[in-house]
Amino acid sequence: MLPALLLDRVTVPGRDHPRLDQVSLQLAVGERVALIGPSGAGKSSLIAVANGLLSPTAGQVLWQGQPPARHGRLRRRQQGRIGTLWQDLRLVEELTVQQNLNAGRLAEWGWPRALLNLLLPLETGACRELMQRLDLDPALLSQPVAALSGGQRQRVALGRLLRQQPQLLLADEPLASLDPRLAAELLALLLRQGEAPRALLLSLHRPDLLQGFDRVVGLRQGRVTLDRPLPAAGAAALTAELQQLYAGAAR
C-alpha cells in the first residue's frame, strides 16, 4: 500500500540555519506519529510542508504516492485528502457552527451548495451526529463560532476537519493552549480518528503526552534526530533519548 505521506530529503531554508534540513519521513496508512522537539526545531515547518503550505527548495514530497500538482483541479483534489488542525484553529468567526462544519465539505461541493450553505442550514443530520461524536450540544449548531468557549471551538475545528474526511490528518500543536483535561480528551479523539484507513501526524511540545502513538519522531534544528516505534511501555522507555533531544534547548 502507498504511504500516506512521504518526505524525501526535504529542505526549507531559514535565516540562521535551515528550517528543515534533509528531512526524510514516511507515514504508513493507519500510523499515528507524534512529532516532538524543542521550540524552533522545525515542527511547524514540517507540518506546513506536509499540507502544502510551504514548498521545499530541495527534496520531494509525495501524497499517497503522488507529487503535489502545481495548481488546478488535481491540486484541489489532493488538498482535499489532507486535513489540518491549526493551532489558531482558523475558524470563520462570523459563521455559525454548522456553516463552519460544512466548510469542510467545500472541496466536494460546487458553488451552488457553497452559496446555499451561507443562506440555509445544510446537512443538519450529519452535523448533529458529528456534534454528538465530539461531545458537543447539537443546539450549538446555530450559534456563531465567536460565541463559543475555547474548548468548544477546538472541537468545532476538529469537526470541520472530520467533515472533510481527509486521509491524512495533520495537527500543529493542537494541545498547546488547552488545560490538561481538555488536552487529554482532544488527543484521545485525534488518536481514534487517526486509525486506518487514515494516518495522523501531530506535533507536540510535551513528551508526557506520547501515550497512544505508534511512533515518535524527534526534530532538532531542522533535522530528524529520533525516529522510533513507541514501545508499549510508552515514553518511559525513551527517557534518555528524549532528554538528549531537549538537552541545552532554550525552553
Partner 1 sequence: MMASVGAARPAPALWPLLPALVLVPLLVLLPALVHGGGWELVGRFALGALRPSVDPVVLRSVLEGLAVTAGTALLGWAASLLLGLTLGIASARVVWQTCLGAEWPALLIRRLLAIPRSIHELLWGLLLLQLVGLQPAVAVLAIALPFGALVARVVSDQLDSLPRQNLEALHAAGSPGPSALLTCLGPPLLPRLLSYGGYRLECALRSATLLGVFGLGGLGTELRLTLQSLAFPELWTGLWLLLGTMLLLEAGVSGLRRRWAMPLRFSGAAAPGVGRQGRELLLAALALIPLAVAVAWALQIHPSQLLQWQGLPPLGQPQWQAVAALPWSRLILNTLLLTGMAAALAVGCAPLLLLLLPPWAAAQLALRAFWALGRLWPPPLTALLLLFVLQPGVITGALALGFHNLGILGRLLLEASAAADAGPGQALQLAGCGPRLALLYGRFNSLARPYLAYGAYRTDVILRESVVVGLVGATGLGTQLLEALSGFAWDQLAALLLAYALLTLLGEALSDRLRRRLSQVG
Q: Which residues bind partner 1 (CB under 8 A)?
A: 51-53, 76-84, 86, 88, 90-96, 98-99, 103-104, 106-107, 111, 114-115, 118-121, 124, 127-128, 138-143, 164, 166
70 or 251: CB nearest partner 1: 70
User: What number of CA atoms fall less than 13 Å from residue 176's CA on the CB side?
Assistant: 16
Least Cβ distance, residue 2 to partner 1 (angstroms): 19
Least Cβ distance, residue 74 to partner 1 (angstroms): 11
Least Cβ distance, residue 99 to partner 1 (angstroms): 6
- Strand arrangement, sheet containing 58-63: 20-27, 5-12, 58-63
17 or 76: CB nearest partner 1: 76
92 or 188: CB nearest partner 1: 92
**What nine digits make up the cell of 68?**
503535489
161 or 230: CB nearest partner 1: 161
Least Cβ distance, residue 131 to partner 1 (angstroms): 9
Least Cβ distance, residue 29 to partner 1 (angstroms): 19
136 or 210: CB nearest partner 1: 136
